[in-house]
Amino acid sequence: MTRKTRGETARWELFPHGADMGVRGMGPSLETAFEQAALALTAVLTDPSAVESQTAVDVDCEAPDPEILLTDWLNALVYEMAIRNMVFGRFRVQIDGSRLRGRAWGETVDAGRHEPAVEVKGATMTALKVIEERPGKWIAQCVVDV
């Protein structure tokens, strides 16, 4: 999925990886790439556009580098989805140095409407990459265990 953000395209995609799934977010800023990676995480489960923004959940993470911060962010979302029986379809991320402050909006899982395909167990270090490919084009990706 793509959307135009400040002149650059923000988008997410999935990529196959053995029995697991890769998630990739791209955008004009590190924060946007992390938001898009979270949308890709949701897309492993269900169509993110089918998720209503009924409830907001705050997520804070801190890590020594952006790659670990990405896995911590995605794993925190997996945890919140599991304990709350929710799925998220919209995200906002602010990164200040090693600290991420995020908010995820979503709703309680409705098996009939969301038709969850699989359960994501967690984000891994496999294919982990967070880079600014060129000025204004960030990529944040990893493989999630399903």
pLDDT value at residue 4: 45
- The total number of structural domains in the chain stands at 1
For residues 108 and 116, the model is more confident at: 108
Angle at the Cα of 43 from the Cα atoms of 105 and 141, rounded to 5 degrees: 95
Q: What CATH number did the domain enclosing 46 receive? A: 3.55.10.10
How many other C-beta atoms lie within 10 A of the C-beta of residue 44? 18
Sorted by sequence, the CB contacts under 8 Å of residue 41 that are 6+ apart come out as: 23, 74, 77, 78, 120, 123, 144
pLDDT at 127 over 90: yes
Which range marks the domain in which residue 62 is found?
2-145
- Which of 52, 51, 68, 69 lies closest to 60, judged by CA? 69
pTM above 0.95, yes or no: no
Distance, in Å, from the CA atom of 72 to the CA atom of 66, rounded to the nearest integer, reads: 10
Mean pLDDT, the chain, whole residue set: 94
In whole angstroms, what separates CA 121 from the centre of its chain?
14
pLDDT value at residue 38: 98
102 close to 58: Cβ distance less than 8 angstroms: yes
How many other C-beta atoms lie within 10 A of the C-beta of residue 58? 10
- Which of 21, 56, 23 lies closest to 39, judged by CA? 23
pLDDT at 2 over 60: no
Q: Edge to edge, what strands does the sheet with 99-108 contain? A: 55-62, 99-108, 86-96
